[in-house]
Chains A and B, each alone.
Chain A
């Protein structure tokens, strides 16, 4: 397939390629059958597949325009719109001929260029020169904006990075001990769980029973635990600490009453006026003789 001279005779490498700098960071313009293509062959004839790769490497209409501007050393602030439009349209046609998938953005750009071209042809009123914007202004802004990020991408690609330029140092940890921490629980989470479970119980099971204050419940646990530890009789008065005060004694007394009511403890008195003893309920293995012994 013959290709027009204009396209073939590329004066410089495509934008973004730095000749004579085969640095690691260099982005190849294209790779054709395993070979890195950093500039167009200068032959009069380009094999269609190479041309295809060349054209496919463009990142969109702005990239094509930047390429056309750069290779002709055109000042981006003074783009000869008619000429650039002609070249651009020729590229688009070529892409179409090669049946490249042509993104809609390419055609939109062609339309935009045509519009700028026609506005450039209109005579600009001298008086309004200051306010009248150059019809190319928006295009120039977009080209520059794209160019700065294209350059930023190249800069980014040149930074020393892991995997390619930077190798991490690591030493072997032979006997690694996994230390498992236990989950944390906030008091708030605990309280909300309690609220939920009680509300659920009230709703579905209609459990409405008033219970003792927590101080009594705690004392119940303590008394039970103490009786559990001794597994024997304990003198009733010993359940009351001397230092717990009147309020503490009341709590202990309520706890003992509740424990009796729940049949968790038994009160035993060997004979009238003998000291009262307390033991865990259901401990029949303790013979009464033992109580006598404990008493003596």
Chain B
């Protein structure tokens, strides 16, 4: 695998929502990143519905139907439906397959009846738990790959939120341990992704399906979620921001293995990935408040191609079921952005999105298109190793955070940030030395299995 060594976008000023340098076209002809933002709706089954394949199929049938119908009702031109596998669907690869086939059929029906353009993304659950199984060789691994094979048949896009490195990350994040975070994301996460995504891309190519992308959810979103809002006292927002920058270098591996995008919605690092790869990305922010709060609700839409709600449990609201309600909201969000495109006001509109959150907190700041691009640049300029580029991303992130006086950082968080920087500076230059150091430091962490990553 060759690490990226140049930027797809020559300047961040060229990055815009709705348009990617390398748009992709689905089996059914939906173009993503081809000029318009498209909503991506993600319904989640209610508890109990997972009991049998029949009840689960019925649940997804309703949820996906409601979303498609609402698009027709209010006139949203196109939609992507994502179903994130619950563990039962990946543990029984036939379940995931049946639901994929059912959804493909629903999409076809809406196309014929109304002319609605839609596509389906199947996100396989990563049921390989790093602390329990060998990531490369276990029953869970086999199930994951089998699920990809079976879903790729009828799905338009396949994705996963891969777990490599999670065992070390979980240990490190609650210990303020930036070394462990770097190790888990850059080395462990990166190696696992290379192994896994080579296989996913191969499947996608054989099945003429789109290999979408991964997300650093298991690490960066955990950190962002723990940093929380303005009341929480779990971890500093500055640490969450560093985690995100490092995580971008990890998620990028999917595309280096051949994934073409659209990147997966909960990858808040996606603006960085778009800057590097030029591929379309799915993003989520304010209209995924149904799934979690965040401090970058608008800014994260600045360069999105798909616009998602992350996940909403099926439920009746006064205005219809949740998939219908959120399909409507996302579609209107997209419609405003697409109007901006049609009017030639996209720069102004984008500036409004960015200014909403650029100084709301560290995450919004580093994910503003300019800063995201700069972090991307640091990554491609340090392409000699996963380690080098990930560390460079962290340094650039810290430099940016400290460099703009308009971004206010609490005393404690600033102090913490300076502390992480000191640790990062003390780390060895070469990847091998770093790995040696970490193998010693983390060898006793519960569940850490070096051979899951081809180490030792």
Q: Do A and B come from one complex?
A: no
Residues of B participating in the A interface, judged by any CB pair closer than 8 Å: none
